[in-house]
Amino acid sequence: MKTINDFNFENKKALIRVDFNVPLNDAFEVTDITRIEAAKPTIIKILEDGGSCVLMSHLGRPKGVEERYSLKHIVDAVTEVLGVQVKFVDDCVGAKAEEAVANLESGEVLLLENLRFYPEETAGDVGFAERLSKLGDIYVNDAFGTAHRAHASTTIVAQFFPNNKCFGSLLAKEIESIDKVLNNSEKPVTAILGGAKVSSKIGIVENIIEKVDHIIIGGGMTFTFIKALGGKIGNSLVEDDKLQLALDILKLAKEKNTEIHLPVDVVIADAFSNDANTQIVDTNEIPDGWMGLDCGPKTSEKFAEVIAKSKTILWNGPLGVFEMENFAKGTIELGNAIAEATEKGAFSLVGGGDSVAAVKQFGFADKVSYVSTGGGAMLESLEGKTLPGIEAIIK
Ligand code: AMP
């Protein structure tokens, strides 16, 4: 696995795929610089080597050229984060872009226009990738968020750099973290799967069930398991076509000696609203007209005990409807337990969608070992799939 540390970039132009798909407000100002900061170590290492950086990214989902998705809007934010004046060219291929690259000197940074202004980008067009490849000596992929896409800039372009391609430090860290959890993990390993539906997590369960010692299940998917086991779930979220699947998972876990932990009590509400009436009941005794929206205190305690003895922890998905204050407690308590275990030496990885939002919202981001930057890419990695953007660098 080649990373930027295997290259000396002196007098080289690095063509770097970054993920600068950042949120903008109505005045086109960047409202969250996390993704720009995440790419900084790679860019700085290359500049310090005496090289220059050509940054390419997408922003949003434009249909052709759409001014509001121009990457020119983020030049100031990138300049501020890097501490280096960033140059911009309003195309990402062709004569204008090639000229801007030719004029680039060591220590300088050039940002190309939005790759998705060309439909060839998402189509993975080889000709377009070849045009991109003219814009650098070494190809660096540092965009984990798009590594599961076989787009021109994330995957196809790599073939034009047979010996000069590598991972940036962000992408390398993502790969290492997943490996540390799934393949080179210190036992016991605990995976916490929450979120809304069993159907969106089944791929993960199937891939990890043999690799982990404990699986904690929470969130909306709880009730498909509880119903399958014969419990009363009232009006809770359920996937009736996944009841057998839930039983199959429990059976498989038993065969593989993996312990599955389900909530024993839940916070129920008489409406899907923060203002609803609530009570705490046993998970399998939810009255009609009520729905489970968070796990209860006994469950939090039980989950915390499992987490406290874990040496490796993977967290994907909230344990309740954390967006509503009254149903956030289970998710917060879980975050506390993971933070404590991490402090005592466990390795904890938080990844995939809403758990990342929860971790940031409740201030746990600095208290876990690693927070992944890629939603879909993380999910596919946890499902055991080889991501095309990663494969293209390795092969
Ligand atoms: P996912 O994207 O699959 O991780 O699902 C995250 C969503 O699941 C969040 O928006 C939560 O509000 C939601 N969720 C968590 N617990 C429940 C629950 N008990 N009932 C309904 N939705 C839930």
Q: Decide the pairing of beta strands 312-316 and 347-350.
A: parallel
For residue 323, give the ligand 1 atom closest to its CA.
12
Q: Decide the pairing of beta strands 109-112 and 138-141.
A: unpaired
Same domain, 234 and 373: yes
Say what the pLDDT of residue 314 is: 96
- Tell me how far the alpha carbon of residue 358 lies from the centroid of ligand 1, in angstroms: 11
Same domain, 204 and 139: no
Same domain, 158 and 306: no
- Tell me how far the alpha carbon of residue 323 lies from the centroid of ligand 1, in angstroms: 9
Residue at which a domain ends, from 121, 143, 169: 169
Count of structural domains within the chain: 2
pLDDT digits (tens, 9 = 90+) for 277-287: 999 999 999 99
Share of the chain above pLDDT 90, in %: 93
Same domain, 163 and 189: no
Active site residue 35: yes
Is 161 inside any structural domain? Answer: yes
Is 34 inside any structural domain? Answer: yes
Whether the Cβ atoms of residue 368 and residue 349 lie closer than 8 Å to each other: yes
Which of 107, 203, 375, 376 is labelled catalytic?
376
Active site residue 197: yes
Residue 352 predicted with pLDDT over 80:
no
pLDDT digits (tens, 9 = 90+) for 216-241: 999 999 999 999 999 999 999 999 99
Q: Nearest-CA neighbor of 203 among 244, 173, 239, 245?
A: 245
186: confidence class by pLDDT, cuts 50, 70, 90: very high
Q: Nearest-CA neighbor of 356 among 9, 8, 38?
A: 38
Whether the Cβ atoms of residue 372 and residue 174 lie closer than 8 Å to each other: yes
Is 352 inside any structural domain? Answer: yes
Whether the Cβ atoms of residue 55 and residue 77 lie closer than 8 Å to each other: no
Is 179 inside any structural domain? Answer: no
Same domain, 162 and 189: no
Share of the chain above pLDDT 70, in %: 100
Same domain, 197 and 84: no
**How long, in residues, is the chain?**
395
Which of 35, 45, 116, 149 is labelled catalytic?
35
Is 178 inside any structural domain? Answer: no
- Structural domain containing residue 282: 185-382
For residue 316, give the ligand 1 atom closest to its CA.
4
Same domain, 35 and 88: yes
Q: What is the largest CA-CA distance in the chain?
A: 70
pLDDT digits (tens, 9 = 90+) for 95-119: 999 999 999 999 999 999 999 999 9
- Tell me how far the alpha carbon of residue 86 lies from the centroid of ligand 1, in angstroms: 40
Q: Which single residue is written with the structure tokens 């095309």?
A: 388
Same domain, 195 and 150: no
Residue at which a domain ends, from 127, 144, 169: 169
Say what the pLDDT of residue 355 is: 83
Active site residue 376: yes
Active site residue 353: yes
Residue 264 predicted with pLDDT over 80:
yes
CATH number at residue 261: 3.40.50.1260
For residue 317, give the ligand 1 atom closest to its CA.
4
Say what the pLDDT of residue 395 is: 87
pLDDT digits (tens, 9 = 90+) for 14-38: 999 999 999 999 999 999 998 999 9
Same domain, 70 and 150: yes
- Tell me how far the alpha carbon of residue 293 lies from the centroid of ligand 1, in angstroms: 8
